[in-house]
Structure formats: structure tokens, C-alpha cells
Homo-oligomer: A and B are copies of this chain.
Amino acid sequence: MASLDFGPLFAPGLPPPAAKWTGFAKYNFIGGHNDAEQLPLAALIKAANDVLTREARNLATYGLASGPLGYRPLREFLVQKLERTAGIRCDADEILITSGSLQALDLVNGILLKRGDTVIIEQATYQGALTRLQRLGVEAVGIPLDGEGMRMDALAAALDALRRRGVQAKYIYTIPTVQNPTGTILSEARRHEMLRLAAQCGVPIFEDDCYSDLIWDGKRPPALYAMSTHGGVIHIGSFSKSVAPALRVGYIVAPWPLLARMLPLKTDAGSGALEQMVLGEFCSAQFDAHVPVLTRALRAKLETLMAALDEQFGTAAEFEDPKGGIFLWVKLPDQVDTQKLFAPALAAGVAINPGAEWSTDKSHGRSRTRLCFANPSPEVIRAGIATLAEVCRREFGVPARIANVERARV
């Protein structure tokens, strides 16, 4: 019998099929992976042992003994952690644990967005946020950034333009604290201004604070959620960057009436219990000690990356020293199209994020690239950037000269 042809049965508008996974690139500057050397292995293993020995019988019930908002000890850790670091005062019933911050994005989008809606977003921003909006048929109005984050003059102008068009933006999505990909931190003055503009227009702010734990000097302004006096902020965060990306645990902070609308859309019978239990146990005892160890290591890798770029690209690679995080946003000369650089770089073993995929304005992103530095070793960073420079010179004539350096073998 002939095989069933699924072709005519597929839903319309599906994304193109995935290619088979063939492993990570040799020089891997994409994907938000973290530094394997800094994983707190012994503490995680002890946490797993302790919490399973004490509470594993709860695994027999969906949602453990904590209900659909997620493992209560983890929410209780977050209550005190968010107050201490971000100035957020909330209680455990205003936190929903999610399967990574990506599920948090889906749930917030789920309660607010329909096809044809408009949202405001940073001009350079997280690709996963942009692709979600595209799939949902939502228009993303991009606001330019400078060294202090989203520009408030541009935000005011965009809100004004929408008002004139009679369009109600559904939210302002911002990564104010270690912005992805620019690494900027929105100043406290701008936070006040954003809150004022948002309140004036009745637009909620969707604050994505995923990277905010990874700041070199540990200093950050209060969260927009904490500063708001009119309640119109939804805050999300994650343990992917501060502990381990493969643990898929994020969270949403919002008033209960909003979480009550999200819960019926969270039809997964709960997020993974082991991850929540181990994180709850680990974080209560170890989070504060772990984070500075991690950020010191990340800062050292960033310096390796910036030095390698200086050495290999010279003035052809422009960037600002970010205040934290795991990525560097690099501007190459205008003749370089990083989407066209992608394939030959990958063929040479170097994976990069083309800037256009991280921008609402493709021409703004065209000659930019995001380089993640947390996962590769210093040797891999140096050799990878040298290889990237070779490929870029071959394809686009920049950098004009290749540095005469000894290549590390990796």
C-alpha cells in the first residue's frame, strides 16, 4: 500500500521543516548557552539528593503539593529574591512558574494578543520575541536604543503616531536590565519616563528581566514592576542564565487577576517538577553565592572576546562594553551583510547570529551580529574570531588585513 501523503493535511502557514540536528558548531557563538565550568555541580547534586529524599513522594501528584502556580518553595525564594535584587514586593500567589521564560512569553501573548494587533518593542531585541509576534500576525513597532537602553523620545513619538492612527498598542515589550542583544541597562530616569508614557496611553509594560542577574558590578535599578504606581507591568524572569539553560524554569510576576487569565492557557499539567524542586532547594541556599562567581567568569570571557575582535578586526568591529550578560552586539562595516556571512562562517565552523534576525528594522541589523561568549572556552573564542575574520575578509573585504597571530588549536 502506498504511504499516506500528509502534504494536503498540513495546517496552512506552517514554518519550513526543521533540518536534522548535526551538533553544535566548532566555534559556537549562538544559542544563549552558559559556561559549563561555572555550573555549581556539587551543590546541584546535593540539592537533588536533599529535596528528593525529603519530598519525592509528591512526584505522584500533578503540580506536587503546590497547585498550578508551581512549586511553592521556589516561589517563596523568588518573593524574597525579587524584593532584594529588583525591589519587587509581591507574594507567592503573584508568581507563576513557567517552563522557561519562553512559555512566559507565550502566556502573556496568549492573554493579550490577537492577529492584527500592534505592540512596541526595542528595535534590536530578542529573536524569540520577534518570531512569536510574526507567527501571531502582530505588528512590532521598533524603538531605537542608545547606551542607556530604549530612547524615550522615540517611544513618545511612536506612541503619539499610534494614537494619531487610532491604534491601541497592546504592550511595550522591553528587556530593560541587560538588554538582549545590546547589553544596555535602562537608566532609572528613563524607567520613570517609560512608566509615565505607558500610563498616559493606557499601555501595559511587558518587562523581560531574564539577564538581570548577570551584571558585572551587581548593581541594577529597580524593576519597572517595582517602580510602577499604576500596576500595569507584567514581569518575567528565568533561571536559564543564572543557573543552567537546560533547566527549563522561568516565571511570571503579575497581579493574581492576570495570572488567573493565564492559567487556563497553561494546559501542560504543570512545569517539570524535578527542575523546580532542585532549583528551589539549590537557590535558597546557594543562589547568592553562585551568581558573582559566574559573572566574574563571564566578564573574563567577554574581555577575551573584545580583545580577539580588536586584534582580528581592528576598527572594523565596533561595539560598546556591555554592563553584563552573555552576548556582545557588534557592528561591522556597512558592506558586510551578516545574513550572507552566516553560511560561509558556519561552513568554516563559526556560528553567529545575523543582526537582521534580532531587529525590527532589517537594515539596522544588516551589518550587525550577536556573539554569545558564555559557552566557548577562551581558546575557542580566540580561534573562532580569527576564523570569522578570515571568512569575513574573503567574503566582504573586511577586515582589510588579517592579524598575524598564532592560532590556538582547539
Contacts and interface: CB of A to CB of B under 8 A. Distances in A.
Interface in A222-262: 229-232, 240, 244-249, 256-261
B11 A34 contact: no
Given A33-B60, A244-B60, A275-B274, A15 B264 contact: yes
B52 A4 contact: no
Pairs of residues from A and B, 7 with the lowest C-beta to C-beta distance, nearest first = A4-B232, A21-B67, A272-B272, A246-B273, A17-B260, A18-B263, A36-B60
B270 A248 contact: yes
Given A6-B258, A38-B60, A44-B52, 5 more contacts: A14-B111, A15-B265, A35-B60, A99-B271, A272-B272
Interface string A30-66: 0111111011010011001100110011111111100
Interface string A99-113: 110110010001111
B256 A20 contact: yes
A230 B3 contact: yes
Contact of A100 (B6, B8, B20, B268): B268
A246 B3 contact: no
Interface residues of A, number: 98
A248 to B, nearest CB: 5
Contacts of A272: 99, 246-249, 271-272, 274-275
Interface in A282-340: none
Contacts of A15: 264-265
B17 A261 contact: yes
For the complex formed by this chain, how many copies does it contain in all? Answer: 2
Interface in A178-216: 199, 202, 204
Contacts of A347: none
13 contacts: A4-B199, A15-B264, A20-B260, A31-B62, A33-B62, A39-B57, A41-B52, A41-B56, A48-B49, A58-B246, A60-B246, A245-B269, A272-B272
B269 A69 contact: no
Determine which residue in A12, A36, A106 has the highest number of CB atoms from chain B within 10 A of its CB, and name it. Answer: A36
Given A202-B4, A270-B246, A273-B247, A17 B257 contact: yes
Contact of A61 (B20, B199, B375): B375
A341 interface: no
A52 B60 contact: no
Given A33-B60, A62-B245, A230 B1 contact: yes
A148 interface: no
Nearest to A260: B17
A53 B45 contact: yes
A14 B259 CA distance: 13
A242 to B, nearest CB: 12
Contacts of A11: 110-114
Interface string A104-144: 00100011111000000000000010011000000000000
A231 B168 CA distance: 48
Most interface-central of A100, A264, A269 (chain B CB within 10 A): A269
